[in-house]
């Protein structure tokens, strides 16, 4: 660790991992409710558990992004953070607000939570992923502004690199677009249209800038490839992201009361959205192949390569699968969507946060570059367990989705929703088993932080030639 | 990437491309606003419908159901529920008759204890949604 203030990243990463565990436990609950319908009913109804599952995901990824920024920005800017104290204060504000919100979901009926928090003053609740009470949303804005002030000023006062600039554009975009979560008109078409300005323009827009920037940072550090080369790649990748992704929003505007021309705009541009992800894969493998040194943190390099591959598969390939309007007409809002959502979020955003944690955590815990061999071996086991499990979760949901689409939408004698759900329950059982495997992988991941702490650091294998 | 393609060129593509497509997106957004009056069924957007939408939100219905294909995939699509369940009475009857403790072994909807006014508002909201122009989606009555 080159700068003292980078240490503020550590609590952010620990909170991220803790909430990740919570997210997976609730994922297993709702996976079970898919097949045993009355599981935990009426104490924890499906809608509550799902809300906890998705909201924890968003919150822990935000913790991860913020931790990543606090670690990365001082090193890129070659100076201490403007205010480490503010970063720690905001950590506690965000953690407590997040914990209170989740407790509210679990302990109070949702309508009661809406009443308690004065939703009628400025109604923003009850829309997918934006279920947080309005006051929680206001808290998120406060935390985001304090965070942007802190990293923004640090960047402006220090060395300006492409990596930190792209990160800042991504984070600023994240904060600005979140403001659309306060716009909730009675007109459902308008509500849905602008809801996507938060959801789509986050995950298929500005979050990809954050992803690209973190990936570029880790690759610079672990491969020793010239910064100029990596920054050129970064620019091209994020250029393609926004060129395809902004109009690509149109793939959500096919069936929600918006003009039919969105079927053309959305299909064409979102069909191009895999390109930046494919470039990211080529980029990551290229840089690792051209490495000037072997970094002793092999686990971090594995996570970085894994991110590039899984983001392309989950976001790129599984996204393309159902993005063309004539296909989407049948698959819209089916288990195909769920399959894509799972692998895309895991491959792109979960894995990039885990990449950064893998790279930074050894230094934050006092190592000079890497964990011990034993710890890394365990971490790499967790990589494979979680990643392979997620591939199977995705495949089982895809199988369920294809059958659902056929039986309920495509065949000449369409069956009712619940009849179809029962017919495809085998796939939901298999998904739940894969989910349990994922949990085992996560336990191994957490264990890797506690194993081999007293053993010496792993050292890089010296190769014959340093080509 | 080749040497002839410089970092400055890549940067210009990023800024130029992003700004261009942002402006194009705003133009399409503007056009969508002008097209909405023909499609969004706003003429039937009454106070009662707005109340129904608030109830829809404040009970987190989207946490199980989809509405025009968006939401959770645990329970049936409701964009066309007004037609599928045979109008307001079908919807009100279904919601009101949910058993408090669920149905053993099966997925069940919670009992929300809505008043008659609330039930009417929810039915009105689902009627309004079912009359939006959604380019013939969903493909059939099963949603």
Confidence grade of residue B3 (pLDDT, cut at 50, 70, 90): confident
> B6 to chain A, minimum CA–CA distance in Å?
7
How many angstroms separate the CA atoms of A216 and A226, rounded?
11
Sort out which chain A residues have CB atoms less than 8 A from B104's CB and list them: 38
In whole angstroms, how far apart are CA A307 and each of A174, A177, A313? 21, 25, 10
Query: Looking at chain B, which residue has its C-alpha nearest residue A33?
Result: B107
Query: Looking at chain A, which residue has its C-alpha nearest residue B100?
Result: A42
Q: Is the peptide bond between A208 and the residue preceding it cis, with omega within 30 degrees of 0?
A: no
Looking at the structure, do residues B103 and B69 belong to the same domain, yes or no?
yes
Q: Does position B2 have pLDDT exceeding 80, yes or no?
A: no
Computed over every residue of chain B, the mean pLDDT equals 97
Looking at the structure, do residues A242 and A146 belong to the same domain, yes or no?
no
Sort out which chain B residues have CB atoms less than 8 A from A257's CB and list them: 36, 39-41, 68, 132-134
Contact call for B7 and A41, based on CB within 8 A: no
Tokens representing residue A128 in the block: 């997918």
- Counting one residue from chain A and one from chain B, the pairs whose CB atoms sit within 8 A come to 230
Q: What is the mean pLDDT of residues A11-29?
A: 98
Taking the alpha carbons at both ends of chain A, their separation in whole angstroms is 28
- What residues of chain A, 79 to 98, have a C-beta less than 8 Å from chain B? none
Looking at the structure, do residues A128 and A240 belong to the same domain, yes or no?
no
Whether A123 has its CB under 8 Å from any CB of chain B: the answer is yes
Give pLDDT, residue A304.
Answer: 98
Sort out which chain B residues have CB atoms less than 8 A from A238's CB and list them: 14
Give CA torsion, residues A117, A119, A124, A128, to 10 deg: 70
Q: Does position A466 have pLDDT exceeding 50, yes or no?
A: no
State the best of B18, B51, B64 to mutate against chain A, taking most chain A CBs within 10 Å: B18
Span B50-88, pLDDT tens digits: 999 999 999 999 999 999 999 999 999 999 999 999 999
Tokens representing residue B68 in the block: 């025009």
Contact call for A333 and B28, based on CB within 8 A: no
Contact call for A246 and B57, based on CB within 8 A: no
Closest-CA residue to A4 (of A356, A358, A297, A364): A364
Looking at the structure, do residues B56 and B30 belong to the same domain, yes or no?
no
Confidence grade of residue A1 (pLDDT, cut at 50, 70, 90): confident
Looking at the structure, do residues B72 and B48 belong to the same domain, yes or no?
yes
Q: How many domains, chain B? A: 2
Contact call for B140 and A409, based on CB within 8 A: yes
Report yes or no on A187 lying in a domain. Answer: no
Tokens representing residue B100 in the block: 């408090």
CATH number at residue B77: 1.10.760.10
Whether A257 has its CB under 8 Å from any CB of chain B: the answer is yes
Are A254 and B137 in contact by the 8 Å Cβ rule? The answer is: yes
Q: What is the mean pLDDT of residues A180-194?
A: 98
Contact call for B59 and A126, based on CB within 8 A: yes
Contact call for A260 and B21, based on CB within 8 A: no
- What residues of chain A, 315 to 344, have a C-beta less than 8 Å from chain B? 329-330, 332-335, 337-338
Give pLDDT, residue A467.
Answer: 40
Span A258-312, pLDDT tens digits: 999 999 999 999 999 999 999 999 999 999 999 999 999 999 999 999 999 999 9
Are A336 and A322 in contact by the 8 Å Cβ rule? The answer is: yes
The residue from A160, A189, A206 where one domain ends is A160
Closest-CA residue to A181 (of A270, A58, A338): A58
Looking at the structure, do residues A107 and A14 belong to the same domain, yes or no?
yes
Domain holding A433, by residue range, is 218-450
Nearest to B140 among A127, A260, A414 (CB): A414
Looking at the structure, do residues A233 and A375 belong to the same domain, yes or no?
yes
Span A409-428, pLDDT tens digits: 999 999 999 999 999 999 99
> A130-133, long-range: CB within 8 Å, 24+ apart, which pairs?
A130/A181, A130/A195, A130/A198, A131/A51, A131/A55, A131/A105, A131/B60, A131/B63, A132/A55, A132/A101, A133/A101, A133/A104
| Number of neighbours of residue A360 by Cβ within 10 angstroms | 26
Computed over every residue of chain A, the mean pLDDT equals 97
Looking at the structure, do residues B56 and B96 belong to the same domain, yes or no?
yes
Report yes or no on A460 lying in a domain. Answer: no
> B18 to chain A, minimum CA–CA distance in Å?
6
Whether A27 has its CB under 8 Å from any CB of chain B: the answer is no
Span A372-409, pLDDT tens digits: 999 999 999 999 999 999 999 999 999 999 999 999 99
- What residues of chain A, 209 to 248, have a C-beta less than 8 Å from chain B? 228-229, 231-233, 235-236, 238-239, 242-243, 246-247
Q: Does position A442 have pLDDT exceeding 70, yes or no?
A: yes
Looking at the structure, do residues A297 and A223 belong to the same domain, yes or no?
yes
Give pLDDT, residue A463.
Answer: 57
Contact call for B143 and A417, based on CB within 8 A: yes
The residue from A160, A189, A208 where one domain ends is A160
Give pLDDT, residue A164.
Answer: 98
Whether A192 has its CB under 8 Å from any CB of chain B: the answer is yes
Report yes or no on A112 lying in a domain. Answer: yes
Looking at the structure, do residues B61 and B122 belong to the same domain, yes or no?
yes
How many angstroms separate the CA atoms of A221 and A370, rounded?
12
Contact call for B104 and A246, based on CB within 8 A: no
Contact call for B108 and A114, based on CB within 8 A: no
CB-side exposure of A105: number of CA atoms within 13 Å? Answer: 28
Domain holding B15, by residue range, is 1-38
Nearest to A37 among B36, B108, B138 (CB): B108
Give the DSSP H or E segment for A302.
helix A298-311
Is B66 strand, coil or helix?
strand
Looking at the structure, do residues B70 and B124 belong to the same domain, yes or no?
yes
Looking at the structure, do residues B59 and B97 belong to the same domain, yes or no?
yes
Q: Does position A465 have pLDDT exceeding 80, yes or no?
A: no
Q: Does position A328 have pLDDT exceeding 90, yes or no?
A: yes
Report yes or no on A463 lying in a domain. Answer: no
Span A37-69, pLDDT tens digits: 999 999 999 999 999 999 999 999 999 999 999
| Number of neighbours of residue A41 by Cβ within 10 angstroms | 20
Whether A39 has its CB under 8 Å from any CB of chain B: the answer is no
Looking at the structure, do residues A335 and A428 belong to the same domain, yes or no?
yes
Q: Residue B103: which region, alpha, beta or left (left: phi > 0; alpha: psi -120 to 50)?
A: beta
Whether A36 has its CB under 8 Å from any CB of chain B: the answer is yes
Kindly state the percentage of chain A with pLDDT values over 90. Answer: 98
Report yes or no on A424 lying in a domain. Answer: yes
CATH number at residue A258: 1.20.210.10
- CA of residue A340 relative to chain centroid, distance: 13
| Number of neighbours of residue A118 by Cβ within 10 angstroms | 12
Looking at the structure, do residues B14 and B78 belong to the same domain, yes or no?
no
Looking at the structure, do residues A383 and A273 belong to the same domain, yes or no?
yes
> B22 to chain A, minimum CA–CA distance in Å?
7
Q: What is the mean pLDDT of residues A312-337?
A: 98
In whole angstroms, how far apart are CA A398 and each of A314, A332, A391, B62? 12, 13, 10, 22
Give pLDDT, residue A19.
Answer: 98
Looking at the structure, do residues B48 and B73 belong to the same domain, yes or no?
yes
Report yes or no on A197 lying in a domain. Answer: no
Sort out which chain B residues have CB atoms less than 8 A from A409's CB and list them: 138-140, 142
Compute chain A's Rg from CA coordinates. 22
Q: How many domains, chain A? A: 2
Q: Following DSSP, what letter does each residue of A84-98 receive, concatenated? A: HHHHHHHHHHHHHHH
Nearest to B21 among A34, A229, A247 (CB): A247
Give pLDDT, residue A462.
Answer: 62
Looking at the structure, do residues A141 and A247 belong to the same domain, yes or no?
no
Reduced DSSP (H G I as helix, E B as strand, rest coil) percent helix, strand, coil of chain A, to 5: 75, 0, 25
Compute chain B's Rg from CA coordinates. 22
């Amino acid at each position: 660790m080159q700068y003292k203030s980078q240490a503020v990243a550590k609590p952010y990463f620990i909170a991220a991992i803790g909430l990740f565990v919570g997210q997976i436990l609730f994922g297993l609950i709702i996976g079970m409710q898919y097949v045993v319908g009355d599981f935990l009913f009426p104490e924890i109804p499906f809608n509550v558990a799902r809300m906890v599952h998705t909201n924890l995901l968003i919150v822990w990824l935000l913790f991860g992004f913020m931790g990543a920024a606090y670690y990365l920005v001082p090193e890129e800017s070659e100076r201490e953070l403007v205010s480490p104290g503010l970063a720690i204060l905001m950590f506690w504000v965000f953690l407590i607000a997040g914990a209170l919100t989740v407790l509210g979901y679990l302990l109070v009926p949702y309508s009661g939570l809406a009443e308690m928090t004065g939703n009628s003053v400025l109604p923003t609740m009850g829309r997918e992923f934006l279920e947080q009470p309005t006051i929680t949303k206001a808290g998120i804005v406060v935390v985001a502004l304090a965070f942007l002030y802190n990293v923004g000023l640090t960047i402006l006062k220090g060395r300006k690199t492409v990596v930190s600039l792209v990160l800042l554009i991504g984070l600023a975009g994240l904060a600005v677009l979140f403001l659309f979560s306060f716009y909730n008109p009675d007109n459902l078409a308008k509500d849905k249209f602008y809801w996507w300005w938060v959801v789509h323009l986050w995950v298929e827009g500005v979050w990809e800038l954050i992803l690209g920037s973190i990936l570029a940072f880790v690759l610079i550090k672990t491969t020793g490839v010239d910064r100029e080369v990596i920054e050129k790649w970064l620019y091209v990748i994020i250029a393609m992201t926004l060129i395809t992704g902004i109009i690509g929003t149109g793939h959500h505007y096919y069936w929600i009361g918006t003009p039919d021309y969105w079927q053309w705009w959305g299909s064409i541009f979102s069909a191009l959205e895999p390109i930046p992800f494919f470039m990211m894969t080529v980029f990551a493998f290229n840089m690792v192949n051209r490495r000037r040194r072997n970094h002793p943190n092999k686990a971090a390099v594995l996570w970085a390569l894994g991110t590039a591959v899984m983001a392309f598969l989950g976001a790129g390939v599984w996204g393309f699968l159902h993005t063309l309007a004539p296909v989407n007409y049948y698959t819209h809002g089916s288990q195909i969507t769920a399959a894509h959502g799972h692998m895309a979020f895991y491959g792109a955003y979960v894995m990039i946060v885990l990449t950064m944690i893998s790279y930074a955590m050894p230094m934050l815990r006092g190592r000079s570059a890497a964990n011990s061999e034993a710890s890394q071996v365990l971490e790499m086991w967790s990589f494979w367990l979680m990643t392979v499990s997620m591939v199977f979760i995705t495949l089982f949901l895809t199988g369920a989705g294809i059958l659902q689409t056929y039986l309920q939408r495509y065949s000449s004698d369409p069956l009712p929703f619940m009849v179809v759900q029962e017919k495809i329950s085998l796939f939901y059982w298999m998904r739940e088993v894969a989910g349990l495997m994922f949990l085992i992988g996560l336990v191994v991941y957490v264990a890797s932080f506690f194993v081999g702490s007293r053993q010496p650091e792993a050292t890089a294998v010296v190769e014959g030639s340093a080509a | 990437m080749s040497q002839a393609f410089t970092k400055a060129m890549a940067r210009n593509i990023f800024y130029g491309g992003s700004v261009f497509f942002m402006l194009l997106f705003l133009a399409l957004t503007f056009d969508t606003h002008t097209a909405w009056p023909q499609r969004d069924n706003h003429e039937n957007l009454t106070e009662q419908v707005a109340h129904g939408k608030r109830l829809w939100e404040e009970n987190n219905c989207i946490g199980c159901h989809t509405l025009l294909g968006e939401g959770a995939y645990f329970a049936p699509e409701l964009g066309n529920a007004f037609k599928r369940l045979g109008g307001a009475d079908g919807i009100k009857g279904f919601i009101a008759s949910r058993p408090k403790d669920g149905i053993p072994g099966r997925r069940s909807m919670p009992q929300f204890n809505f008043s008659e006014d609330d039930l009417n508002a929810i039915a009105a909201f689902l009627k309004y949604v079912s009359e939006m122009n959604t380019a013939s989606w969903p493909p059939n009555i099963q949603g």
